[in-house]
Amino acid sequence: MSYPLNKERFDISLRFWLERFFYSKLMGLTAHRIKNKEEFAQIIQDIQSGGRNSIEDIKSICKRARKIGLLGINTYANPLFIFYEYCIKLGFEDMREINTDNVQEFLSIYTSNLSLATIRNYQFALTNFFDFIQKHNILESGASYTYTMNITFSSKSSQQELPDFLTEEELNIFLNALKTYDLNQKHINASVRLRNQLIILMIIYSGARVSEILEIGYKDISLEDNYYVLRLRGKGNKMRVVFILKQLIEYYYNEWKIIRNNIPNATDDMPFFINKKFRIPAQSYIYVVIESLLSSVGIRKAKNGAHLLRHSFATMLYSKSNDLILVQESLGHSSVETSRIYTHFDNKRLKHAANVISNIDNKLEK
């Protein structure tokens, strides 16, 4: 369906396109785990104001969407809200005034101190946004306005950053800290403590994203011989299967399953890690728990979050198997090139390179 590119004012026009874009994303995101269908229907209704919602109203709608399980909206929300404020400051009067130079300037200003992954997320969100407008706008002449957004990577974004990871020794220290879980945190009882331990152990031993573990369904975990089989739903709603050796999580799994089965009115169609209100823990909460555990044993990395455990899994998997395809399949990467970064941590190969090049000096002496 096509819509006029411009409304009576630029700010209304831009908010209108933000609303249409977020509407399309909300409708496209996987909603199979959403139990509050009434709230979801209300969110869909509220996001269609024709640009009359304030930017704060649209932010609030996106937050409501996240709370009911539509976490994918995070990919687009923050970059586009900041870009909206940037455009308003520039004083545009027509949607056609926004061009590649404006977007490139925005990225240079607002992403200079961000990580490579975040920069790419900004670029992805903006590219998708203008592609959407291009496909759905119509001018008075009946033609569509074409945005030629050739967004290029900055010098920083063209370089691939090496992720932090835990060494095998550090990982053993962390696992010991996780088992004792000696943290003075509010609202922590025995069941919450056990649940957190199981979530983190699953991340460590599967290399899964924290969102994949938090959203895993009760029916998505089964036992096959001496392995727990986890059916994960990753980015782009792609399904994959990972295995965890039974003995590594059996105690925690069985104990949590007993607690989970005693939650009144809980069903097998709900996520595995729910509380009495049928809600799953927030990703940010699990990040805080992991950071606290790392700090408690004196381990400090640039980023002490759940993704550090995923990087540690991948690094150790490659160093012990030298199988890049195995890393790709285990992490759920769409391309083996994404997994190739973990080859940088293969110290055996790097030491071999040092030994090979040392022969040059030996030959020169002769």
Catalytic residue IDs: 209, 235, 307, 310, 333, 342
How far is residue 353's CA from residue 142's CA, in Å, rounded to a whole number?
Answer: 63
Residue type, 125: A
Residue with token string 């044993």: 297
CB 209 within 8 A of CB 316: no
How far is residue 137's CA from residue 142's CA, in Å, rounded to a whole number?
Answer: 10
Give the N- to C-terminal CA distance of the chain in Å, as an integer. 77
Strand boundaries in the chain, DSSP class E: 3-4, 137-138, 221-224, 227-233, 239-245
Single out the residue of 39, 86, 82, 98 nearest to residue 63, CA to CA: 39
How far is residue 220's CA from residue 323's CA, in Å, rounded to a whole number?
Answer: 27
Cα radius of gyration rounded to whole Å, the chain: 24
Measured in degrees and rounded to the nearest 5, phi and psi for residue 240 equal -150, 165
How far is residue 100's CA from residue 108's CA, in Å, rounded to a whole number?
Answer: 12
How far is residue 203's CA from residue 151's CA, in Å, rounded to a whole number?
Answer: 34
For residue 3, the cross-strand partners are 137
What are the percentages of helix, strand and coil residues in the chain, rounded to 5? Answer: 60, 5, 35
Residue 183 burial (C-beta neighbours within 10 Å; 0-12, 13-18, 19+): middle
